[in-house]
Protein backbone atom coordinates (compact mmCIF):
# COMPACT_ATOMS: atom_id res chain seq x y z
CA UNK A 1 0.00 0.00 0.00
CA UNK A 2 1.26 3.47 -0.85
CA UNK A 3 -1.06 5.95 0.89
CA UNK A 4 -4.35 6.40 2.72
CA UNK A 5 -6.54 9.49 2.38
CA UNK A 6 -9.61 10.56 4.32
CA UNK A 7 -12.55 11.63 2.16
CA UNK A 8 -15.44 13.79 3.36
CA UNK A 9 -18.49 13.21 1.15
CA UNK A 10 -21.59 15.22 0.31
CA UNK A 11 -24.08 13.31 -1.80
CA UNK A 12 -26.49 15.67 -3.57
CA UNK A 13 -30.20 15.31 -2.93
CA UNK A 14 -32.31 13.79 -5.72
CA UNK A 15 -35.99 13.28 -5.00
CA UNK A 16 -36.18 10.11 -7.12
CA UNK A 17 -33.38 8.31 -5.21
CA UNK A 18 -34.67 7.14 -1.78
CA UNK A 19 -31.24 6.86 -0.10
CA UNK A 20 -30.61 10.54 -0.85
CA UNK A 21 -33.31 11.42 1.72
CA UNK A 22 -31.18 9.71 4.37
CA UNK A 23 -28.10 11.63 3.24
CA UNK A 24 -30.00 14.91 3.53
CA UNK A 25 -31.30 13.91 6.98
CA UNK A 26 -27.75 13.16 8.19
CA UNK A 27 -26.63 16.62 7.12
CA UNK A 28 -29.66 18.22 8.77
CA UNK A 29 -29.28 16.36 12.08
CA UNK A 30 -25.51 16.89 12.32
CA UNK A 31 -25.67 20.48 11.11
CA UNK A 32 -22.95 19.91 8.57
CA UNK A 33 -22.09 19.90 4.89
CA UNK A 34 -21.12 16.23 4.77
CA UNK A 35 -23.12 13.04 5.11
CA UNK A 36 -20.43 10.39 4.69
CA UNK A 37 -16.75 9.66 5.26
CA UNK A 38 -14.59 7.12 3.44
CA UNK A 39 -10.94 6.10 3.28
CA UNK A 40 -9.15 5.97 -0.05
CA UNK A 41 -6.29 3.46 -0.18
CA UNK A 42 -3.81 3.59 -3.03
CA UNK A 43 -1.72 0.60 -3.99
CA UNK A 44 1.09 0.04 -6.44
CA UNK A 45 -0.08 -0.33 -10.00
CA UNK A 46 -2.57 2.56 -9.76
CA UNK A 47 -5.12 0.51 -7.82
CA UNK A 48 -7.37 2.85 -5.82
CA UNK A 49 -9.90 1.36 -3.41
CA UNK A 50 -12.47 2.97 -1.12
CA UNK A 51 -13.00 1.44 2.31
CA UNK A 52 -16.27 2.52 3.89
CA UNK A 53 -18.88 1.51 6.42
CA UNK A 54 -22.06 1.43 4.40
CA UNK A 55 -25.04 -0.82 5.09
CA UNK A 56 -24.87 -3.73 5.55
CA UNK A 57 -21.07 -4.03 6.13
CA UNK A 58 -17.63 -2.42 5.94
CA UNK A 59 -16.62 -2.91 2.33
CA UNK A 60 -13.98 -2.23 -0.32
CA UNK A 61 -15.02 -0.82 -3.68
CA UNK A 62 -12.98 0.53 -6.57
CA UNK A 63 -12.77 4.31 -6.70
CA UNK A 64 -14.19 4.42 -10.24
CA UNK A 65 -17.26 2.40 -9.20
CA UNK A 66 -17.75 4.61 -6.11
CA UNK A 67 -17.53 8.09 -7.69
CA UNK A 68 -21.10 8.79 -8.94
CA UNK A 69 -22.03 12.47 -8.47
CA UNK A 70 -20.45 12.98 -5.06
CA UNK A 71 -18.88 16.24 -3.86
CA UNK A 72 -15.72 15.43 -1.90
CA UNK A 73 -12.86 16.82 0.13
CA UNK A 74 -9.70 14.70 0.13
CA UNK A 75 -7.47 14.99 3.19
CA UNK A 76 -3.94 13.67 3.66
CA UNK A 77 -2.35 13.18 7.06
CA UNK A 78 1.15 14.67 6.85
CA UNK A 79 2.64 12.18 9.25
CA UNK A 80 3.85 8.63 8.83
CA UNK A 81 0.49 6.82 8.87
CA UNK A 82 -1.29 4.52 6.46
CA UNK A 83 -4.58 3.87 8.31
CA UNK A 84 -4.22 0.12 7.71
CA UNK A 85 -6.52 -0.54 10.69
CA UNK A 86 -9.47 0.31 8.47
CA UNK A 87 -8.79 -2.71 6.27
CA UNK A 88 -8.83 -4.99 9.32
CA UNK A 89 -12.53 -4.18 9.78
CA UNK A 90 -13.78 -5.44 6.40
CA UNK A 91 -17.04 -7.38 6.46
CA UNK A 92 -17.96 -6.25 9.98
CA UNK A 93 -21.53 -5.04 10.31
CA UNK A 94 -22.92 -1.52 9.97
CA UNK A 95 -23.93 0.20 13.23
CA UNK A 96 -27.39 1.65 12.55
CA UNK A 97 -28.12 2.53 16.19
CA UNK A 98 -24.95 4.55 16.78
CA UNK A 99 -25.05 6.25 13.39
CA UNK A 100 -28.63 7.34 13.96
CA UNK A 101 -30.14 7.35 17.43
CA UNK A 102 -27.00 7.82 19.56
CA UNK A 103 -25.57 10.59 17.36
CA UNK A 104 -28.91 12.39 17.07
CA UNK A 105 -29.55 12.30 20.83
CA UNK A 106 -25.98 13.52 21.54
CA UNK A 107 -26.28 16.42 19.06
CA UNK A 108 -29.69 17.49 20.43
CA UNK A 109 -28.29 17.58 23.97
CA UNK A 110 -25.20 19.51 22.80
CA UNK A 111 -27.43 22.06 21.07
CA UNK A 112 -29.53 22.69 24.18
CA UNK A 113 -26.44 22.79 26.36
CA UNK A 114 -24.97 25.51 24.14
CA UNK A 115 -28.22 27.48 23.99
CA UNK A 116 -28.96 27.35 27.72
CA UNK A 117 -25.41 27.02 29.03
CA UNK A 118 -26.30 23.95 31.03
CA UNK A 119 -22.76 22.57 31.22
CA UNK A 120 -20.94 19.59 29.84
CA UNK A 121 -22.80 16.97 27.84
CA UNK A 122 -21.54 13.42 28.13
CA UNK A 123 -21.69 11.07 25.17
CA UNK A 124 -24.10 8.27 26.08
CA UNK A 125 -23.60 6.15 22.99
CA UNK A 126 -21.53 3.01 22.91
CA UNK A 127 -18.00 2.60 24.21
CA UNK A 128 -14.89 2.08 22.11
CA UNK A 129 -14.87 -1.68 22.80
CA UNK A 130 -18.46 -2.06 21.56
CA UNK A 131 -17.79 0.20 18.60
CA UNK A 132 -15.23 -2.23 17.21
CA UNK A 133 -17.95 -4.82 16.58
CA UNK A 134 -20.02 -2.69 14.18
CA UNK A 135 -19.15 0.56 12.43
CA UNK A 136 -20.58 3.70 10.90
CA UNK A 137 -18.62 5.70 8.33
CA UNK A 138 -16.90 8.51 10.25
CA UNK A 139 -16.29 6.25 13.23
CA UNK A 140 -14.37 3.79 11.02
CA UNK A 141 -12.28 6.56 9.44
CA UNK A 142 -11.53 8.16 12.81
CA UNK A 143 -10.45 4.79 14.20
CA UNK A 144 -8.27 4.00 11.17
CA UNK A 145 -6.45 7.35 11.46
CA UNK A 146 -6.29 7.08 15.29
CA UNK A 147 -8.23 10.28 16.02
CA UNK A 148 -9.19 10.89 19.65
CA UNK A 149 -12.84 10.05 20.50
CA UNK A 150 -13.30 8.42 17.09
CA UNK A 151 -16.44 6.64 18.31
CA UNK A 152 -18.26 9.98 18.74
CA UNK A 153 -17.52 11.54 15.35
CA UNK A 154 -19.97 12.53 12.64
CA UNK A 155 -18.82 13.13 9.04
CA UNK A 156 -18.88 16.87 9.68
CA UNK A 157 -16.94 16.54 12.97
CA UNK A 158 -14.22 14.64 11.16
CA UNK A 159 -14.00 17.18 8.33
CA UNK A 160 -13.81 20.06 10.82
CA UNK A 161 -11.09 18.20 12.74
CA UNK A 162 -9.02 17.92 9.55
CA UNK A 163 -9.52 21.64 8.84
CA UNK A 164 -8.34 22.66 12.30
CA UNK A 165 -5.41 20.30 12.81
CA UNK A 166 -2.14 21.37 11.15
CA UNK A 167 -1.04 17.81 10.40
CA UNK A 168 -3.87 17.44 7.86
CA UNK A 169 -3.60 18.85 4.34
CA UNK A 170 -6.53 19.45 2.01
CA UNK A 171 -5.54 17.97 -1.36
CA UNK A 172 -8.76 18.38 -3.29
CA UNK A 173 -12.27 19.80 -3.00
CA UNK A 174 -14.87 19.35 -5.72
CA UNK A 175 -16.70 16.70 -7.72
CA UNK A 176 -15.33 13.21 -7.19
CA UNK A 177 -15.33 12.64 -10.94
CA UNK A 178 -12.76 15.47 -11.29
CA UNK A 179 -10.36 14.11 -8.66
CA UNK A 180 -7.17 12.61 -10.09
CA UNK A 181 -4.60 11.04 -7.80
CA UNK A 182 -1.92 11.47 -10.45
CA UNK A 183 -2.13 15.26 -10.04
CA UNK A 184 -1.38 15.13 -6.32
CA UNK A 185 2.08 16.20 -5.19
CA UNK A 186 3.78 13.23 -3.53
pLDDT (average), residues 31-58:
90
Mean pLDDT value across residues 132-161? 89
The whole-number pLDDT of residue 166 equals 95
Q: Cα(first)–Cα(last) distance of the chain, in Å?
A: 14
pLDDT given for residue 99 in this prediction: 58
**pTM confidence score:** 0.83
Q: From CA 5, how far away is CA 84, in angstroms rounded?
A: 11
- For residues 165-184, give the mean pLDDT: 90
Sequence-ordered list of residues with C-beta below 8 angstroms from that of 173, at least 6 positions apart, any chain: 72, 73, 74
Count of C-beta atoms within a 10 Å radius of residue 90 = 11
pLDDT in tens, 51-105: 999 988 999 999 999 998 999 999 999 887 778 888 988 988 887 666 556 666 6
Distances (CA, A) of 50 to 62, 111, 122, 144: 6, 33, 32, 13
Which carries the bigger pLDDT value, residue 109 or residue 69? 69
Mean pLDDT of 150-161: 90
Instruction: Catalogue all structural domains in the chain, each as residue range(s) with its CATH number.
Output: 3-181 (3.90.1720.10)
Q: If you average pLDDT over residues 20-38, what whole number do you get?
A: 86
Which residues, 6 or more positions from 113, have their beta carbon under 8 angstroms from its beta carbon?
119, 120, 121
**pLDDT given for residue 161 in this prediction:** 96
Amino acid sequence: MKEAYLISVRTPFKWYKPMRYIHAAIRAFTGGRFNHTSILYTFDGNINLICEAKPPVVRLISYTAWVEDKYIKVWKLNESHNAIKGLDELDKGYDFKSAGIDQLWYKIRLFFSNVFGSGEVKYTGHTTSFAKEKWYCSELAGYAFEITDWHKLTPNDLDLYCELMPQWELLFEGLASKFNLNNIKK
